[in-house]
């Protein structure tokens, strides 16, 4: 009897191979379904600002989906909620906000949607700075002091635990991040101390650096109040001009979310430098120098130290100085041949007398 050959071997082998392929397909389907299921059940944290979102992301990693309401580079004081924000508030498992009236627009939405129990206020426990002019008003920019930012991070972990969203990995990342913040706080303290004593004054557009000034021993003088909604008063402007002149300040600063026109004009009129923009209320682009909260604080500190340590650039003053140096140089050049001539003449007289 003639022997039958199959292209893949004997029919028994082909049957085994077919069963194996079926098994592999089933396994792949199970993995795919499990992955899709995990994605659909992934919890969501909604954060009011990009700074808070970065802190949360550092702790939760990829375990939880972290979303931001006010995007990078945008001003949280002036943010206008979009219709889609309402749905995001409804869907979020946890909502993290700064509090201290930074996000009044968001607090109203949360009340309307009726999800107040899912909200964690990260400034709970911080030492607030009260407004000098309005007793009931508090400065919301507490994250500008890294030791207070540690309190934010502690509050995030407490909120995760309360919502049942924490894990061993989250606890581990929390400890690592707190350690980084502690080192950053010390680093900023040391860097700010290197600013010359006569230049220790930070003039910015809006009052976002009071916590920074209190923590790192740097007096601040903003031109407007704690919100960018306020307008600059002529009295505040004239007081700032007076201080710049009295201190012979090297540099003034503007925040990157604020129009630099006024500060640019002021620096030109007074013949002083306008420092590189500071990051106050939002992170910068992902590929920029303030992509994360830690980078933002480090960049701000380096720019403040660099700006206040540079010599003052005054076009008028420098041209006067150049004129004076030129005249001095001219007389010195003339003095050399005249001195030589006088010496030779004097020497000749002595020879003649001898
Ligand atoms: Zn602000």
Residues 189-236 pLDDT 10s: 999 999 999 999 999 988 899 999 999 999 998 887 656 656 667 778
In this structure, the answer to whether residues 49 and 179 fall within a common structural domain is: yes
pLDDT for res 110: 92
In this structure, the answer to whether residues 206 and 277 fall within a common structural domain is: yes
Distance from Cα 177 to the centre of ligand 1, integer Å: 24
Note the pLDDT tens digit of each residue in 274-332: 999 999 999 999 999 999 999 999 999 999 999 999 776 554 444 444 433 334 334 44
pLDDT for res 78: 87
The alpha carbon torsion through 42, 46, 50, 52 (nearest 10 deg) reads -100
Distance from Cα 161 to the centre of ligand 1, integer Å: 30
In this structure, the answer to whether residues 305 and 324 fall within a common structural domain is: no
The answer to whether residue 240 sits within a structural domain is yes
Distance from Cα 247 to the centre of ligand 1, integer Å: 26
Residues with C-beta atoms within 5 A of ion ligand 1: 208, 281
In this structure, the answer to whether residues 180 and 252 fall within a common structural domain is: no
Where in the sequence is the domain holding 67, given as residue range(s)? Answer: 41-187
Distance from Cα 2 to the centre of ligand 1, integer Å: 90
In this structure, the answer to whether residues 181 and 273 fall within a common structural domain is: no
Give the residue with greater pLDDT, 3 vs 303.
303
The answer to whether residue 33 sits within a structural domain is no
Spatial separation of the C-alpha atoms in residues 337 and 1, rounded to whole Å:
127
Distance from Cα 93 to the centre of ligand 1, integer Å: 27
* Proportion of the chain above pLDDT 90, given as a percent: 59
Q: Which of 153, 187, 221 is the last residue of a domain?
A: 187
pLDDT for res 89: 96
The answer to whether residue 24 sits within a structural domain is no
Q: ∠259-252-228 over CA atoms, to 5°?
A: 35
pLDDT for res 329: 38
**Read out DSSP for 76-94?**
TTS----HHHHHHHHH-SE
The answer to whether residue 8 sits within a structural domain is no
The answer to whether residue 35 sits within a structural domain is no
In this structure, the answer to whether residues 74 and 146 fall within a common structural domain is: yes
In this structure, the answer to whether residues 157 and 242 fall within a common structural domain is: no
The answer to whether residue 27 sits within a structural domain is no
In this structure, the answer to whether residues 211 and 340 fall within a common structural domain is: no
Q: How far is CA 49 from CA 151, 157, 266, 342, in A?
A: 16, 17, 30, 78
Distance from Cα 215 to the centre of ligand 1, integer Å: 17
Distance from Cα 70 to the centre of ligand 1, integer Å: 13
Nearest by Cα to 133 from 228, 229, 78, 207:
207
In this structure, the answer to whether residues 140 and 239 fall within a common structural domain is: no
The answer to whether residue 206 sits within a structural domain is yes
The answer to whether residue 150 sits within a structural domain is yes
Note the pLDDT tens digit of each residue in 55-110: 999 999 999 999 999 999 999 988 999 999 999 999 999 999 999 999 988 988 99
In this structure, the answer to whether residues 139 and 55 fall within a common structural domain is: yes
Q: Which residues of 177-190 are buried (b: 16+ CB within 10 A; e: fewer)?
A: bbeebeebbeebee
Distance from Cα 304 to the centre of ligand 1, integer Å: 18
Distance from Cα 100 to the centre of ligand 1, integer Å: 11
Which residues of 223-313 form beta strands (DSSP E)? Answer: 251-252, 273-274
Q: ∠289-169-181 over CA atoms, to 5°?
A: 35
Distance from Cα 233 to the centre of ligand 1, integer Å: 17
Distance from Cα 53 to the centre of ligand 1, integer Å: 17
pLDDT for res 30: 52
Q: CATH number of the domain that 91 lies in?
A: 3.40.50.1980
Distance from Cα 289 to the centre of ligand 1, integer Å: 19
In this structure, the answer to whether residues 302 and 175 fall within a common structural domain is: no
Contact assessment for residue 314 and residue 271, using Cβ atoms and an 8 Å cutoff: yes
Spatial separation of the C-alpha atoms in residues 177 and 294, rounded to whole Å:
10
In this structure, the answer to whether residues 224 and 163 fall within a common structural domain is: no
Note the pLDDT tens digit of each residue in 138-162: 999 999 999 999 999 999 999 999 9
**Domains: count for the chain:** 3
């Amino acid at each position: 009897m003639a022997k039958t050959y199959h292209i893949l071997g004997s029919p028994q082998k082909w049957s085994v191979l077919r069963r194996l392929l079926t098994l592999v397909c089933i396994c792949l389907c199970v993995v795919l379904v499990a992955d899709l299921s995990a994605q659909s059940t992934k919890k969501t944290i909604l954060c009011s600002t990009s700074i808070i979102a970065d802190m949360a992301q550092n702790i939760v990693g990829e375990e939880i989906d972290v979303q931001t309401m006010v995007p990078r580079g945008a001003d949280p004081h002036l943010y206008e909620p979009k219709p889609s924000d309402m749905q995001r508030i409804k869907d979020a498992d946890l909502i993290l906000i700064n509090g201290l009236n930074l996000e009044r627009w968001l607090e109203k939405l949360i009340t309307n949607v009726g999800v107040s129990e899912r909200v964690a206020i990260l400034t709970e426990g911080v030492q607030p700075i009260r407004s000098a002019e309005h007793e009931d008003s508090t400065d919301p920019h507490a994250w500008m002091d890294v030791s207070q930012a540690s309190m934010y991070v502690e509050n995030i972990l407490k909120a995760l635990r309360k919502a049942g969203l924490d894990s061993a990995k989250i606890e581990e990342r929390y400890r690592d991040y707190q350690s980084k913040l502690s080192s950053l706080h010390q680093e900023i303290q040391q860097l700010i101390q290197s600013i010359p004593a006569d230049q220790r004054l930070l003039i910015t557009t809006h009052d976002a650096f009071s916590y920074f000034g209190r923590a790192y021993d740097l007096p601040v003088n903003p031109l407007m109040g704690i919100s960018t909604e306020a307008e600059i008063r002529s009295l505040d402007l004239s007081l700032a001009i007076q201080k710049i002149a009295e201190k012979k300040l090297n540099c003034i600063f503007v925040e990157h979310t604020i129009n630099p026109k006024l500060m640019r004009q002021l620096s030109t009129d007074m013949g002083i430098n306008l420092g590189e923009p500071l990051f106050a209320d939002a992170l910068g682009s992902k590929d920029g120098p303030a992509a994360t909260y830690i980078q933002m604080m480090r960049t701000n500190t380096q720019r403040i130290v660099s700006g206040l340590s540079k010599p003052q650039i005054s076009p008028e003053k420098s041209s006067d100085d150049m004129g004076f140096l030129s005249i001095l140089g001219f007389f010195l050049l003339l003095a050399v041949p005249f001195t030589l001539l006088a010496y030779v003449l004097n020497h000749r007289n002595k020879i003649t007398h001898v």
